[in-house]
Structure 1
Amino acid sequence: MVSNHVSHAFAVKLSAMDVTVAEWTLLRVLYGKQPTPPSRIADEMGMSRGAITKLADRLIAKSLVARKASTDDGRSQTLALTDRGIGLVPELAALADRNDAEFFECLGEEERETLKRLLQGLAERGHMTTLPLG
């Protein structure tokens, strides 16, 4: 229930910025990277190449991501953030931090560390290495 409320509140905040949670995740993955092939991004995010293409198409339409021919192989393509995308990621990261604070600032430092440790343990035991974006 807590996860659903935290996630929903964040999705609402992102929607006010015309970004979905899945789009935010791709923006975050691309941030600070050199142009990257969609196949590598798909592997990193645990998503299909088709899903990455659809996300990229939406972000390209919003002028947040650019698709270019690879410099190594003209037949393949790479994805990279545009200047607008680069500028937006820190703003969205701050939004994510504020969202987390709204839900978790009521916990003391020791309680937050315990919660973090417990959740990391659950993620490790459940082999949760990618985000379930659907």
Structure 2
Amino acid sequence: MGSISDLTDHTGFWMRMVSNAVSQDFARKVATEGVTVAEWSFMRALYEQPPTPPSVLAERMGLTRGAISKLADRLLAKGLIARTEDPQDKRAHRLTLTADGRSKVPVLAALADANDAAYFSVLSTGEHHALNRLLKVLAERRGLKTVPLD
């Protein structure tokens, strides 16, 4: 029987350790604004966009229509998005940010920026760029398109 690798021998271990810490701190920060990370991702996807059909949003975010529907229902209840009738198809609808939702996006983006700065400022600019580049290459080569929601 061969030797068994240690947990710390795996790149995935280190990625998960960092990802969990970054994600959990960010989740706590956005919770102070009354939203979840998933809701923030949804709102950011709608920001600067015309009223968008849920199917287009699902494709853009790499999510199922069911997941989009659940997130939309939560954000509708919070008054952060609105559902409008599709002018070309009265049976369909489109989603857009409300004024409250639009004003919240820059606040949430600032929290995301601060969270990244808190974690990645320990890296040099070159190290940070290299990390981003390698993670993007890995995601592209693996065909990863789903927006992380937690």
- The TM-score with structure 1 as length reference comes to 0.95
Deviation at 1:98, TM superposition (A): 0.0
Counterpart of 1:54 in structure 2 is 70
Counterpart of 1:5 in structure 2 is 21
1:1-134 equivalence runs, <5 A: 1-133=17-149
Deviation beyond 2 Å, 4+ runs, structure 1? none
Q: CA RMSD in A?
A: 1.2
Deviation at 1:113, TM superposition (A): 1.1
Deviation at 1:42, TM superposition (A): 0.9
Paired-residue identity, % = 54
2:117 partner amino acid:
A
- SS of the equivalent of 1:32 reads coil
Deviation at 1:133, TM superposition (A): 3.5
Structure 2 runs not aligned, ≥5 long = 1-16
- The TM-score with structure 2 as length reference comes to 0.86
CA distance in 1, matches of 2:107, 2:148: 23
Number of aligned residues: 134
CA distance in 2, matches of 1:97, 1:5: 15
- Bigger Rg, structure 1 or 2: 2
